[in-house]
Amino acid sequence: MKKFDYLLKWAAVCLVLVFMFVMSCIEGDVGPGDNANLETIQVPEEFDFNTAGEVEINIQDANLNDVVRYSVYSFGADTLNDLIVSGFTNSDGLFNTRVSLPNYLEKVYVVRNDRGQFDGFELPLSAGIVDFTYNGPSSRASRQFKTQTGCTEVLYAVNNQGGFYTIDNESGSYEETVLPNLEGGGSIACAVDRAGRKTYYNTGTTLRYYDIDNGTFHVVSQGNPFNGSYPRMEYNNADGLLYIAKNERMYIVNPLNNQVISNIQISGIESPVSGGDVAISLDGTIFMCTFSGLYRLEIAGDGTSAQATRISAEGLPFQPTSMAIDRNDRLYLATNDGNSQLIEMDKFDGAWQVVQTYNHTINDLGSLPCTLDELDDTDSDGDGINDPLDDFPDDPERAAENFTPSKYGWGSLAFEDLWPAKGDFDYNDLVVNYRFTAIQNAANEIVELEARFNVKAIGASFKNGFGFEIPISPALIENVTGQSLHENIVTLDAKGLEAGQSNSVVIVFDDAFNELPHVGGQFINTEPDVALSEGEDIVINISFVNPVAPELLGTAPFNPFIFIDGERGKELHLKDKAPTDLADESYFGTLSDASNASEDQYYKTSNNVPFAIDIIHEFRYPIERKPINEGYNFFINWATSGGGSYPDWYKDNSGYRNTGKIYSR
């Protein structure tokens, strides 16, 4: 009997354990740090909780006769990521800069642009340094460039009603020109042969092309591997073949004889696998979009299979049905609704922006880029940078734009505003997205800084202000505009900087409640099942008296902070970031704060947990009163290891998140 009772007890225990396991699986993947909490863990004192670090880029180019443009991208183990910085070689062929890169990176991707001739290189990142020497040929050595204006690039667009258009993407106006209706009927696919000056399209199972120079239509062949419409199609100008895909299958076809060269099975596409298009970058990289997002394809050596790596990891709020890449390596998508949107996307991280909306449908796009011998060798503004390399060809003071974290992506700053008291560590009391754009001249000096902010969440009742400090003298700043100040809490000087500061301090807004629409209540965008509010971007523009060396400014987002509930002196910064001159230091060392100014230690608890964090990625923050470690399974592992484990804890990787504890948008 005792033995039977004993067995019953163990059976009950096992049932409870099984139930707990099942419930944990329902909630989400549980990380090794899930049983710990932010009050009891011990974080190494020197760990700063930065998700990014400064990296030195040193490039030596053998082309000493002319300027070459280099662009540096972060390069993750699983996907290409953000465009970080672009710049120009000097008379010694050198390009040197410092950039902020995610800490999990082991390499970068460098693109060399010599008047429209692109070369790409994967380079290792070691001990915060990237060194590279280019000894290849110069484009000038093999090409004779024109001295007059070259060709104008356009996109070609088709739809299934027979509509046919060109779109001016070179000037940035995205103005369209209506062409004659497609002969044979409508089409959902098109691709452009640059050398042959043809725009391929299909009607049913018939492959046709439009002669660009003569304005005539021609039939190429009947039938195709899908025995129907071509869902996705691209012409590869490197090999003269058509790349045609549908769902998880792609065929490479010779358009001259309709022969199938390769039949490729694609792996790695997430559901839904339908829709989308194929586009090929200038360096030969194959991109494909489906309704589930943007992917990079790598075809196996035997030519029978391909692996798809997803780039737009957070998914897309629209369904792309067409895609094209131009000579400047800009990727465009379009939607196929009645008023199609043209979308420019960062092909390295999937960040995007709508650039134009049309009053008709676009079912597919193709790009007609200029060839190298058509490119313009003119330097219109006389700044030493030829027009094909110059982001501002008509402005001698500006030449390139650099972005943190990327052209269309966002970083996030998240605060616990009960400081110096301990909060609930959901880091959603105030969440502010940021994107910095530094505009440089031909000498790679910064002439203007644009800082764009958007308040995403207010998970508290306090009315908090927000600003950032740049570590340079106010004497170097010419003007600051764009602030949103309404409460008479701060005082600005004649330049727009905060008065009474030894460094340059920019106050972005003085009350977050003015920046995010809300109707009653104290929580905005942090409680589940509550409709999302959207605020307007706040755009700060900073001009300098004279161009400033990038190393003097440091890296964005510099030294951001909030001041709490209308009290200007009650500043809260990132861990170990110094307060400004106007901070009230009497709060240090009180309640749960363990700041020690004499040791340059600030804004942390006794176990070294911060009250604010900076994520070089758009932060999907926890819902109300759910600590960050409950939403992100490996946050504690990252913190207690001093950043050594799971440095990408914030990403949307399998098992990383408990989605039920993260605010859904």
Backbone angles phi, psi at 341, to 5 degrees: -100, 135
Q: What is the pLDDT of residue 238?
A: 80
Element spanning 198, H or E:
strand 198-203
The reply to whether omega before 474 is within 30° of 0 (cis) is no
Q: What is the pLDDT of residue 148?
A: 35
Q: What is the pLDDT of residue 30?
A: 39
For strand 117-124 and strand 80-88, is the pairing parallel, antiparallel, or unpaired?
unpaired
Q: How far apart are CA 289 and CA 287, in angstroms?
A: 7
Structural contact between residues 652 and 618, judged by C-beta atoms closer than 8 angstroms: no
Instruction: Please state whether 488 falls in left (phi above 0), alpha (psi between -120 and 50) or beta.
Output: left
Residues forming CATH 2.120.10.80 domain(s) in the chain: 154-374
Q: What is the pLDDT of residue 521?
A: 66
Specify the DSSP class assigned to residue 357.
E
DSSP 369-395: PPPGGGSB---TT-SSS-GGG-SSTT-
Q: What is the pLDDT of residue 583?
A: 98
Q: What is the pLDDT of residue 563?
A: 98
Q: What is the pLDDT of residue 373?
A: 54
Q: What is the pLDDT of residue 26?
A: 33
CATH architecture of the region 52-138: Sandwich (2.60)
The reply to whether omega before 547 is within 30° of 0 (cis) is no
Q: What is the pLDDT of residue 505?
A: 98
**Residue 544, both tokens:** 């300098």
Block means of pLDDT (10 residues each) for the chain, length 665 residues? 38 40 36 65 94 92 87 62 80 90 86 74 88 77 38 86 92 90 94 90 92 94 82 88 92 88 92 90 85 88 87 73 82 91 77 89 88 67 87 93 83 97 96 96 96 96 96 98 97 98 98 88 82 91 96 93 98 98 98 96 97 94 95 96 95 90 87
Q: How far apart are CA 616 and CA 412, in angstroms?
A: 7
CATH number among 3.20.20.140, 2.120.10.80, 3.20.20.120, 3.40.50.300, domain 154-374: 2.120.10.80
Q: How far apart are CA 231 and CA 15, in angstroms?
A: 51
Q: What is the largest CA-CA distance in the chain?
A: 101
Residues forming CATH 2.60.40.1120 domain(s) in the chain: 52-138
Element spanning 331, H or E:
strand 331-335
Angle at 54 between CA 49 and CA 59, to 5 degrees: 160
Specify the DSSP class assigned to residue 353.
E
